Amino acid sequence: MSKKAYDAKAIEVLSGLEPVKKRPGMYTDTTCPNHLIQEVLDNSVDEALAGYCKRIKVNLYKNGSIEVADNGRGMPVDIHPDHQLSGVELILCKLHAGAKFSGEDYGFSGGLHGVGVSVVNALSAELNVIIKRDAKEYAIGFRDGEKVQELKEVGKVGTQNSGTAVTFLPDQQYFESLKVDKKRLKHLLKAKAVLCPGLQIDYFDEKKSERIKWIFDEGLRDYVEEFSGCSQLLLDETFIFSKDGEGQGIDVGINWTDETSKDLLKETYVNLIPTALGGSHLNGFKAGLLDSIREFCDYRNLLPKGIKINSEDILVNCVFVISSKLQNPQFAGQTKERLDSKDHTSFVSAAVKDSMSIWLNQHTEEGEKIADLAIRAAQKRAKSTVKVDRKKTFKGPALPGKLSDCNSDDIEQSELFLVEGDSAGGSAKQARERKFQAIMPLRGKILNTWDLESSDILKSQEIKDLTTAIGVTPGDDNISKLRYGKICILADADSDGLHIATLLCALFLRHFKSLVTAGRIFVAMPPLFRIDAAKEVYYALDEKEKDNIVKNIRKTNTKVKIDIQRFKGLGEMNPSQLRETVMKPQSRRLIQLTLNASENTNSMFDLLLSKKRAPDRKAWLEKKGNLAEV
C-alpha cells in the first residue's frame, strides 16, 4: 500500500505531448508504425478531398524513416494571434489543434480531433517538415516531440508550387516493432486512390527499390472486381451507386459470388479512412440491403414456406466496398476503426434500399440469383439450428403460457425482455429477433417485494411466472440453470414506467442479487420522443435530448419543418420503431444494472420502498422534493 499522502500536490497535469508519451496506446496502434503513416497520410488526403491536392508521395527509407509529401496548400506558417506560435508548430506540438473542427476549411475530412499528426511527432525520435507556400520554402525540425530547429525560410519556389512533406523516424520505445506492414500499407494506398478519383499516389521502398503509382478516374468497379477475394463473381458488372445528402454522402460497389470465404472483400471507409470494425455506415448498408431483397423476394414469391432471410444470409456471399463521406463523423476512438454517427445509419439505409430496389427490378434475372444465394444460406442456417421448442426441453415447472420464447439454447446469445403491458408485448413480439430474443409481458406494476422474504414472493403469480421463465429460484446464489444471458427490463419512458422499472430492479437486487453481480440484468431505454425533420428521423430519451437534437437540426437548416411526436407508451410504437430503438443490438440503448461499491444501494432502496420507512421517506421528500424535474 502506498504511504504517500494524497493531497493536491499528488495531482499531475500533463501538458503538451506528454499525455501521448505516457499512454501511447490510447492514441495509436503501437504494434507497428502503420497507423502513424496513416495519420500523416490522412492530412494529405483531406487536402485532396477539399480539392487542393492532386498527388501524394509515400517513401520508406533504409534508415527506417518515412516521408509523406503532398502538393496541397502547405501547412500554415504565419503566427497564430492568440498562441503566438506558427501554425505548423501548433499543429505538431499541441493536442486538439487543427482546422477541421468548424468544417469551414474542410468539407469532409478524416482529421477531426486535432490529435493525429501531433501524436506522430510525440512518438517519433525525429521529425522534419518542409513546407512550400506563397512562393517560399520553409523548414522546421523536432526531436522527441520537442522543437530543435526554428521555422525558417530556406528557399524560393514557383508560385504554383505548394505542399507539405513530413519525414519522421518512429521511436523504438513506443512500438512492439518498427517494421512497417508494407502489404497492408500498399493496400491502403491503393484504396485511397480508388476512393478519391483523380488523386495520384506514389509509393517508394528504398530498401527494395520498388516504385508503384496508383491513379484511378473511375476505379471503384475495378477495385471490387480485382480484390473480390474470389475466382468468379455472380454479376457480370459490379453494381455501383452514389448518394449525396446534406453534409453526408455514400459510394457503394457491390457484387456476389457462389463462394464463401473469410477473404471475401468487405471493406468500409469514412472520409477515406478504413473502418475495420464497421459501425453506422455498415449497419445502414445491411438494413437497406435486407429490406430491398426481402421486398424483391416477397413480390416475386421466392421464399419457401418457413424461411426468413436475414442480413447475414445476404452478406455471406457478398463482396462490397462502402465509402461514406461525413462533415462531422463521430468515431469510437482515436484509431477511428468504428463509426458511431447514429444519424448516418438511416441515410445509408434509405440510399441502399432505394438504389438496390430499382436495380433489382431492372435486373430480375440477376436479382433472383442473389435471392437464391440468400435463401440457400438461410436454409443452411435453419438446419444448423436445433429445431426444438425450448418450452418442451425445460425440466421443471411448465413455462408460463404468456412467455414467447426464443429458439436459441445458447445462454450467452439469448435475451429475455420483461415488457410492460400486453399491448407493448404484442409489438415487441413482432419487433424481436425470434432466434435469440424472448418476450414476457407483465401486467402493470408488480408486487413491491422489498420487505418480503424470498419464500413469500412466489405467492404472487406474476413473480412466480417470471421466476419460472428465468430458471433461477429467488434467494438462490446458484444461477447454473439461468435460461437467458440478458434479462432486460422494458417499461414506458414516463413516470409510471419508471416506477415499474424501479420495482423490478428492487426485485432483482433483493431476491436475485447473484444475477445482478453476474451482470445479467439490464434496463432498456425506450425513447420518449420521435423527431422528424424532412426525411431524417431522430429519437430522444427525454426533453433535454429532444431540445439538443432540435437545436442541432436548426444549426444546419433553419427552414426545415420539424415534427415532434411524444410517445405515450411502448404500445404506441409500431414494431419497426420498437425494433430500431429497443430490440436491435446495433442501435438500442441498454443500461446494465450494477452495484457501486462506494454507495449504499440497499440503504437507498430501503428508503424508497420499505413500508417501515414511510416517515423517513416523507422527510426526505420534503427536503429533496424541490430537486425533482417537472
**pLDDT (tens digit per residue) in 515-537:** 988 899 999 988 888 898 888 88
Question: Buried (b) or exposed (e) across 435-449, using 16+ Cβ within 10 A?
Answer: bbbbbbbbeeebeeb
Predicted confidence at residue 18, as pLDDT, reads 73
What mean pLDDT is predicted for residues 622-627?
Answer: 72
User: Of 596, 593, 598, nearest to 519 (Cα)?
Assistant: 593
pLDDT at 106 over 50: no
Quote the pLDDT of residue 380.
Answer: 85
Whether the pLDDT of residue 226 is over 60: the answer is yes
pLDDT of residue 205: 95
Average pLDDT over residues 430-457: 86
Task: Of 137, 145, 142, 56, give the one whose Cα is nearest residue 94.
Answer: 145
Q: What percent of the chain has pLDDT over 70?
A: 89
The yes-or-no verdict on residue 98 having pLDDT over 50 is: no
Instruction: Return d(Cα 457, Cα 443) in angstroms, integer.
Output: 16
Tell me the mean pLDDT in the region 47-60: 91
pLDDT for res 16: 56
The most confident of the ranges 251-260, 327-336, 551-560, 599-608 is 251-260
Catalytic residues: 420, 492, 494, 496
Residue 387 confidence (pLDDT): 40
How confident is the model at residue 5, as a pLDDT? 55
The DSSP H or E segment spanning 254 is strand 248-256
- Digit-coded pLDDT (tens) for 548-590: 999 988 888 888 888 888 887 777 788 888 888 888 888 888 8
pLDDT at 593 over 50: yes
pLDDT band at 626 (very low <50, low <70, confident <90, very high): low
Residue 264 has pLDDT above 60, yes or no: yes
pLDDT bucket at 410, cuts 50 / 70 / 90: confident
Is pLDDT of 9 > 80?
no
Span 486-491, average pLDDT: 91
Residue 630 in this model has a pLDDT that exceeds 70:
no
- What pLDDT, on a 0 to 100 scale, did the predictor assign at position 116? 66
Give me the helices (H) in 278-363, please: 280-299, 311-315, 342-362
pLDDT of amino acid 317: 92
The mean pLDDT of the chain is 83
Work out the number of other CB atoms within 10 angstroms of the CB of residue 227.
Answer: 17
Lowest-pLDDT range of 83-87, 279-283, 448-452, 499-503: 83-87
Q: Which pLDDT score, from 0 to 100, does residue 334 have?
A: 56
- Contact between 413 and 485 (Cβ < 8 Å): yes
Which pLDDT belongs to residue 315?
A: 92
CA distances from 600 to 68, 80, 606, 608 (A): 56, 52, 10, 13
Of 33 and 329, the structure prediction assigns the larger pLDDT to: 33
Report which of residues 207 and 497 the model is more confident about. 207
Lowest mean pLDDT: which of 187-201, 306-320, 595-609?
A: 595-609
The whole-number average pLDDT for the span 191-195 is: 85
Tally: H helices and E strands in the chain = 19, 21
pLDDT at 589: 86
Q: Using a cut of 0.95, tell me whether the model's pTM lies above it.
A: no
pLDDT for res 59:
96
Lowest average pLDDT, out of 4-18, 324-338, 531-545, goes to 4-18
Per-residue pLDDT, 528: 87
The values of phi and psi at residue 450, to 5°, are -60, -40
Of 417 and 625, the structure prediction assigns the larger pLDDT to 417
Tell me what pLDDT residue 394 has.
Answer: 42
pLDDT at residue 627 greater than cutoff 70: no
Please tell me whether residue 43 adopts helix, strand or coil conformation.
helix
